[in-house]
């Protein structure tokens, strides 16, 4: 039986989570919730899991309801590999108990790959049901910008996370100083390789993530000055997903000869390393982003040399502060500095702040 459903499947009138509340938390319709709670047929496993997650979130947040303050619903729409989405969810949930100005309830839609139409549909659903703020990590496209513009016109603020959108209708950007990170990666490669010649593989998960584009532009500019003998081999694709990255990168590396370094801007590093080994390429230095579970393991195994990490909790807290300020509940600066990259090596990996699932 799905977690939390045993107590509530008979009637929505006698338990603390009415069907409408579960529907609002999950983003599904009340009829769908009713089918799940009563174990009816024609319900997908994904839908059941979505309802179970919503109930689990409601249980975790229930303690806050005794506190005085306005109830705020914030939506997280994140396109990213599960390893990163998990970190976002952990960061958001760890911050909630420390927000005293309102009772905040996050709702999560986390997918590894979201096509443009799926992102737009998710934002339209949020517009229809209402929200006090949207934290968005998505590709930049005209249709997604239009959906954000519609939310903005309805006074639903949007904060972009890690990667930004073109146009001026989002409330703010929170996340890494992407250009600074790109320059830092170039510097690390330059002090490792010196005057060597050869190629540097620069990988991005997708061409429409503006944050990764900012990293790449700054990286190329800095590397051309620091190491003029090195050429950059750009790769875009795979979405940071294991199988897709291997398939697409293998094709890209067919004609690469001397590969001296890798700068991975979009993740999927286990797949990148396995592809390099298959192609018999052995770079001298590997620079990656984000201190997720996969990169911790690769650092411990000394398969990657440097990770450019930023404090995701700081970013999510900044997003909450922007939302609360927008609604007049707190007063924070209208502009907050972006996160500076922290350099992590196999010698200084910090202890994890959250429980990491082994699944």
pLDDT per residue as tens digits for the range 293-325? 899 999 999 999 999 998 899 999 999 999 999
Q: Looking at 62-66, 131-135, 190-194, 267-271, which range is the least confident one?
A: 62-66
Same domain as 257, residue 184:
yes
In a domain, 317, yes or no: yes
* Boundary (domain end) residue, out of 62, 82, 103: 62
Q: Give me the mean pLDDT over the 132-144 stretch.
A: 96
* Boundary (domain end) residue, out of 293, 309, 325: 309
What CATH number did the domain enclosing 200 receive?
3.40.50.2300
- Give pLDDT, residue 253: 92
Q: What pairing do the DSSP bridges indicate for beta strands 285-289 and 259-264? A: parallel
In a domain, 14, yes or no: yes
- Give pLDDT, residue 120: 97
Long-range contacts of 56-62 (CB under 8 A, 24+ apart): 56/3, 56/4, 57/25, 57/105, 57/106, 57/107, 57/108, 58/17, 58/21, 58/22, 58/25, 58/105, 59/4, 60/93, 61/96, 61/103, 61/105, 62/16
Same domain as 107, residue 184:
no
Same domain as 276, residue 219:
yes
Q: Is 318 helix (H, G, I), strand (E, B) or coil?
A: helix
Same domain as 321, residue 268:
no
For the chain, how far is it from start to end, CA to CA, in angstroms? Answer: 20
Same domain as 124, residue 205:
no
In a domain, 125, yes or no: yes
Q: Give me the mean pLDDT over the 159-185 stretch.
A: 94
Mean residue pLDDT across the chain: 88
Flag whether pLDDT at 185 surpasses 90.
yes
Q: What percent of the chain has pLDDT over 90?
A: 62
Same domain as 302, residue 192:
yes
- Give pLDDT, residue 1: 41
- Give pLDDT, residue 352: 61
- Give pLDDT, residue 16: 64
Reported as a pLDDT band with limits 50, 70 and 90, residue 69 is low
Q: Looking at 24-38, 70-84, 343-357, which range is the least confident one?
A: 343-357
* Boundary (domain end) residue, out of 309, 326, 352: 309
Same domain as 182, residue 237:
yes
In a domain, 141, yes or no: yes
In a domain, 359, yes or no: no
Same domain as 187, residue 135:
no
DSSP string, 182-241: HHHHHHHHHHHHTT--EEEEEEES-TT-HHHHHHHHHHHHHHHHH-TTEEEEEEE-STT-
In a domain, 280, yes or no: yes
- Give pLDDT, residue 5: 47
Flag whether pLDDT at 202 surpasses 60.
yes
Q: Give me the mean pLDDT over the 135-153 stretch.
A: 96
- Give pLDDT, residue 332: 73
Reported as a pLDDT band with limits 50, 70 and 90, residue 14 is very low
Reported as a pLDDT band with limits 50, 70 and 90, residue 111 is very high
- Give pLDDT, residue 102: 84
- Residues 214/179, Cβ–Cβ less than 8 Å: yes
Q: Give me the mean pLDDT over the 99-125 stretch.
A: 92
Q: What is the DSSP letter of 339?
A: B
Reported as a pLDDT band with limits 50, 70 and 90, residue 256 is confident
Same domain as 85, residue 15:
no
Reported as a pLDDT band with limits 50, 70 and 90, residue 116 is very high
In a domain, 350, yes or no: no
- Give pLDDT, residue 8: 43
**Which is more confident, 200 or 3?**
200
Reported as a pLDDT band with limits 50, 70 and 90, residue 229 is very high
Same domain as 103, residue 223:
no
What CATH number did the domain enclosing 40 receive?
1.10.260
Instruction: Provide the domain count of the chain.
Output: 3
Residue 39: give the domain boundaries: 1-62
Flag whether pLDDT at 10 surpasses 50.
no
Same domain as 111, residue 89:
yes
- Give pLDDT, residue 318: 93
Flag whether pLDDT at 6 surpasses 90.
no
Reported as a pLDDT band with limits 50, 70 and 90, residue 239 is confident
**Which is more confident, 61 or 94?**
94
Out of 7-11, 66-70, 239-243, the most confident range is 239-243
Same domain as 304, residue 185:
yes
In a domain, 344, yes or no: no
């Amino acid at each position: 039986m799905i977690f939390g459903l045993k107590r509530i499947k008979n009637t929505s009138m006698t338990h603390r989570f009415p069907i409408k509340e579960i529907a609002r938390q999950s983003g599904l319709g009340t009829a769908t919730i009713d089918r799940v709670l009563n174990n009816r047929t024609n319900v997908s496993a994904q839908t059941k899991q979505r309802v179970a997650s919503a109930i689990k979130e409601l249980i975790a947040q229930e303690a806050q309801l005794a506190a005085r303050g306005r109830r705020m619903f914030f939506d997280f729409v994140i396109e990213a590999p599960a390893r990163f989405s998990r970190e976002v969810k952990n960061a958001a949930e760890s911050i909630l108990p420390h927000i005293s100005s309102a009772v905040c309830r996050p709702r999560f839609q986390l997918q590894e790959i979201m096509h443009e139409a799926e992102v737009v549909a998710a934002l339209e659903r949020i517009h229809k049901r209402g929200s006090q703020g949207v934290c968005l990590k998505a590709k930049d496209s005209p249709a997604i910008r239009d959906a954000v513009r519609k939310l903005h016109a309805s006074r639903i603020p949007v904060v972009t996370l890690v990667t930004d959108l073109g146009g001026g209708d989002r409330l703010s950007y929170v996340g890494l100083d992407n250009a600074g990170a790109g320059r830092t990666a170039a510097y690390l490669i330059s002090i490792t390789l010196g005057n060597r010649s050869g190629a540097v593989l620069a990988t991005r998960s997708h061409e429409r993530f503006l944050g990764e584009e900012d990293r790449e532009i700054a990286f190329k500019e800095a590397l051309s000055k620091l190491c003029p003998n090195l050429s950059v081999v750009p790769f875009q694709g795979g979405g940071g997903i294991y199988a897709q990255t291997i398939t697409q990168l293998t094709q890209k590396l067919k004609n690469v000869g001397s590969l001296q370094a890798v700068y991975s801007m979009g993740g999927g590093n286990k797949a990148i390393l396995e592809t390099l080994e298959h192609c018999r390429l052995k770079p001298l230095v590997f620079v990656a982003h984000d201190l997720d579970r996969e990169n911790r393991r690769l650092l411990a195994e000394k398969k990657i040399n440097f990770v450019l990490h930023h404090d995701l909790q700081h970013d999510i807290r900044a997003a909450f502060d922007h939302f609360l300020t927008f609604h007049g509940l707190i007063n924070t600066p209208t502009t907050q500095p972006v996160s500076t990259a922290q350099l992590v090596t196999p010698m200084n990996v910090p202890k994890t702040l959250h429980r990491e699932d082994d699944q």
